[in-house]
Structure 1
Amino acid sequence: MPETEPWEYTLSIPHDPRAVTVCRRTLRLILTLHGLIRLADTAELLATELVANAVLHTKGPATLRVRWSAGVLRIGAWDADPEPPPPPHDLTDLTDAENGRGLALVRACSDLWGWQPLARNGSRGKYVWCELTAAA
């Protein structure tokens, strides 16, 4: 049974493509321990896309943040690039594409998503997030 009390985890990650796997596995463990395993597959996909964008398209460290509150799971990735993410395409336009589907998947698989400028430890950057609502 999922917990009703809010919680939040933050994982600082280096600029390293292997961090995507670490984040994905850590997220599954967090969700399992909090009784939210039914959200794990979709949450892993979303976190993978957000963290991969942060690691592959920027030049600094990144942070994964996972928060549960009032039946909503928010997954977000901070990176040191203050430029907004490119607008997502429609998935139907990307069926043969080998890349560029990340934010389109986030938009299609989440209940809500967005981004905002965010400074962290004196570094300007952005925070790209999405939410999954847990059915009661």
Structure 2
Amino acid sequence: MATVAPHQPWAYALRLPHDPRAARVARMTVRAVLSGHGRGEVLDVVELLTSELVANAYRHTKGPASLRLTALGDGRLRVGVWDTSPHVPAPFDQPPGSRVPPAPVDACRGRGLLLVQAYADSWGGWSLKAGKLLWCEVGGRDTRSITQRHQSHT
């Protein structure tokens, strides 16, 4: 049962320490928030994208991170992750709609932000005085399941 109307704007913020468990904590938080707000149709996608952004913050910084989950009035959800590094990685450093090539097949890393590119409806990043903010959005008019999104990108 939803505690508020699904398209009512709201925001949650979570401060995360530099800890390898931060992505798991962020996923659990996203699952609780979206379930509580009746947004199950985007739960899997938002959970995946949150996990990738938080894991990226942990892997590439030595400081804390912050997660902000925002429901916008038109049904979209925005995930924003701030961290202490000013470096904005690809594809977030490219103009909207740009695509970066996939990681080599034998690479052990380098696919997380490509998943964000594949499953988010929009994304971006900003270098700030104290770190950077990477964000992505899903939902609104296009609330296809994660399986349908994957099939459309392969």
After TM superposition, list the pairs within 5 Å mapping 1:70-109 onto structure 2. Answer: 70-87=74-91, 89-91=100-102, 93-109=103-119
1:118 aligns with 2:128: yes
- In 2, the alpha carbon distance for the partners of 1:118 and 1:22 equals 25
TM-score, reference length from structure 1: 0.88
- In 2, the alpha carbon distance for the partners of 1:11 and 1:94 equals 34
The structural deviation recorded for 1:94 is 4.2
Look up the match of 1:16. Answer: 19
Encode CA deviations 1:5-40: one digit per residue, 9 max, x unaligned.
Answer: 100000000000101100001101100000001111
Query: Is 2:42–2:139's contact at 8 Å kept on the other side of the alignment?
Result: no
Question: What is the aligned-residue identity percentage?
Answer: 47
For residue 77 of structure 1, give the secondary structure of its aligned residue in structure 2. strand
1:34 aligns with 2:34: no
Q: 1:131 to 1:94 in 2, by over 3 A?
A: farther
For residue 126 of structure 1, give the secondary structure of its aligned residue in structure 2. strand
Q: Which amino acid aligns with 1:89?
A: V
Q: 1:104 to 1:35 in 2, by over 3 A?
A: same
The structural deviation recorded for 1:71 is 1.0
Look up the match of 1:130. Answer: 136
Query: Is 1:116–1:126's contact at 8 Å kept on the other side of the alignment?
Result: yes
- In 2, the alpha carbon distance for the partners of 1:56 and 1:65 equals 19
For residue 64 of structure 1, give the secondary structure of its aligned residue in structure 2. strand
- In 1, the alpha carbon distance for the partners of 2:65 and 2:38 equals 27
Structure 1: tracts of 5 or more residues without a match: none
- In 2, the alpha carbon distance for the partners of 1:114 and 1:106 equals 10
TM-score, reference length from structure 2: 0.78
1:7 aligns with 2:18: no
Structure 2: tracts of 5 or more residues without a match: 92-98, 144-154
**Alignment length, in residue pairs?**
131
